[in-house]
Homo-oligomer: A and B are copies of this chain.
Amino acid sequence: MPTIVVDVMPKAELLDPQGKATSGALDRLGHGKFHDVRIGKRFELSVDGPVTDEVLAEARQVADEILSNSVIEDVVAITVDGEAE
């Protein structure tokens, strides 16, 4: 069953306190080479049948209107993962 993966991240101009806290923790734990951590969401949607252009267009609409809040978040990627989960 194909899976559509929608990646949503907080907008670049917004503070991401969760990410900031994680950056601080990594630094304290000796992993300072990683910085500017940002934390977003990854949605996996199972789809019945093949992922046509139409289904993908509907997925994009769902991603923009339902899965993300366009005031504070960007949909950064919509990909199709063909393998059964």
In angstroms, Cα B62 to Cα A2, docked, is: 30
Query: What residues of chain B lie closer than 8 Å to A7, measured between beta carbons?
Result: 42
The answer to whether A43 and B33 have CB atoms under 8 Å apart is no
Give the B-binding residues of A (Cβ under 8 A): 4, 7-9, 12, 19, 22, 25-26, 29, 31, 33-49, 55, 58-59, 62, 66-67, 85
One of B19, B36, B39, B66 near A29 (C-beta < 8 A) = B66
In the complex with contacts A7-B42, A34-B4, A62-B12 CB distance below 8 A: no
The answer to whether B45 and A42 have CB atoms under 8 Å apart is no
The answer to whether B43 and A37 have CB atoms under 8 Å apart is yes
In angstroms, Cα B46 to Cα A67, docked, is: 25
A14 to chain B minimum Cβ distance, whole angstroms, is 13
